[in-house]
A and B are shown apart, each in its own frame.
Chain A
Amino acid sequence: MTDLDERLSAYLDGELAPEDAAELEALLASDPAVMARLEQLQMANTAFALDAQEVDALPKSPGLKALEQRLSGGVGSAATDTVADLSLWRRARAVIVEHRAIAAAALVAAIVGIGQIGGPSVPSQDGLPGHGVILADTALGDALTVSASAEPVRIGEAVFTPQMTYASADDSYCRVTLMQTEARTGQFVACRDGENWDVQVAAFRPAGEDGSALDYQTAASRPFPAIEQFLDADSTSIPLSAEAESALIGNSWEKNPE
């Protein structure tokens, strides 16, 4: 390691005095080798930070999970009160014109925590597998497939809460899901497509606009116009009852024979 490495590393951390940073920036601008070294150190730092984030994908130990559930008891009980009220959505009359599945999926992917939320800087990544499809064998796909409405599921730093299930105009089943991280609150609609979930539309706002990022009551009580409009155009029936939804989940989303 050289003194240059120390200066570059400190520069990455914002720890250089302004005059030292300016001096280094001039050097970076004039010497490609120095810039290349800066990139190498940044990549090393990213690797270190990304490696730490891998633990997010692992299930918590029973002891920690029990402790978390005990501590978040207030959150869980609040969530039961936030099953979406379709009347809110039906107030909107406009029909969403643009189908934004791919863009929506990219946003969902970012929120899911593949690196951009709440952690150190990481390379930009884009999209979910299948361009707008949440695959069944992902953590989010599994949550949509097996979780009842009002049942929060934590994936990485995000908490996903399916809010309701309905039958769409083309007779596929769709779920409206609330999504919350420290940075953002969002809502998206994903419809069953084979084993997977096809993202139809998503909307987000900074969590700060809702106060606490994990304030379910506040977040859910403030509708997302784009979601409302989409649902007005798409849903042909009232939300499924808890019993009907449970039966669907239990039957792997196949309709029960009448």
Chain B
Amino acid sequence: MTDRTTDLGSRLVDEIPHLRRFCFSLTRSLADVDDIVQIAIEKALEKGVPDDVTLRAWLFRLCRNHWIDEMRKKKTRSEAVPALMAAANDALPAERVAGDKMLLKMAQAALDNLPEKYREPLALVSVAGLSYKQASDELSVPIGTIMSRVARGRAMIADKVGYHD
């Protein structure tokens, strides 16, 4: 490998946790997450990364495009959630923290039922860390729409979980 390729490889490895989180927040499908991440990385290796893009944002775009092209029709969104919760309970020290475990459990149903039109901008902003402008570019919608949908998504989760006490 050339130094440039080696450097890209190292940077891609660093991005894997972020990609997995983003893909899961987008797809809610454990069965699909790693496949999408793998394909996105392989595409980046094969085609290279344009000089004028941020690597993470570029990879998110590859993931999202693949999801749209190949996976969205499969209707697999919630199949893996029970397995996810069980595995997380075994492996994560964080899951021993009762308060947050309860919060996550309460939020699970709200997250599962969040419509995609709100999930996508929320994933881009809250998980991927994109600005509203970047998210609007990614989704090809006005910034005002991003602002509205992000707020709407959060409001739906908050109101369904009932964070009122």
Question: Which A residues are CB-close (under 8 A) to B25?
Answer: 48-49, 51-52
Q: Is B142 positioned at the interface, with any CB of A under 8 Å from its CB?
A: no
- Size of B's binding interface in residues, CB under 8 A: 66
Are A55 and B21 within 8 A (Cβ)?
A: yes
* Known contacts A1-B152, A72-B13; A120/B30 CB under 8 A: no
Q: Is A208 positioned at the interface, with any CB of B under 8 Å from its CB?
A: no
The residues in B between 132 and 165 inclusive whose CB is less than 8 angstroms from any CB of A are 132, 147-148, 150-158, 161, 163-164
Q: Is A22 positioned at the interface, with any CB of B under 8 Å from its CB?
A: no
Are A67 and B92 within 8 A (Cβ)?
A: no
Question: Which A residues are CB-close (under 8 A) to B17?
Answer: 56, 118, 156-157
Are A125 and B100 within 8 A (Cβ)?
A: yes
Chain A interface mostly helix, strand, loop or mixed? helix
Chain B interface mostly helix, strand, loop or mixed? helix
* Known contacts A47-B103, A52-B127, A56-B20; A64/B34 CB under 8 A: yes
Task: Mark A residues whose CB is within 8 Å of B.
Answer: 1, 5-6, 8-10, 13, 15, 39-41, 43-58, 60-61, 63-64, 67-68, 70-75, 109, 112-115, 118-120, 123, 125, 128-129, 135, 137-140, 156-157, 182, 213-214
20 A-B pairs (CB sep. < 8 Å) = A5-B152, A6-B147, A9-B150, A13-B132, A15-B131, A15-B132, A46-B103, A48-B126, A49-B25, A52-B24, A54-B88, A55-B23, A58-B84, A63-B34, A63-B35, A64-B37, A71-B9, A123-B100, A135-B93, A214-B14
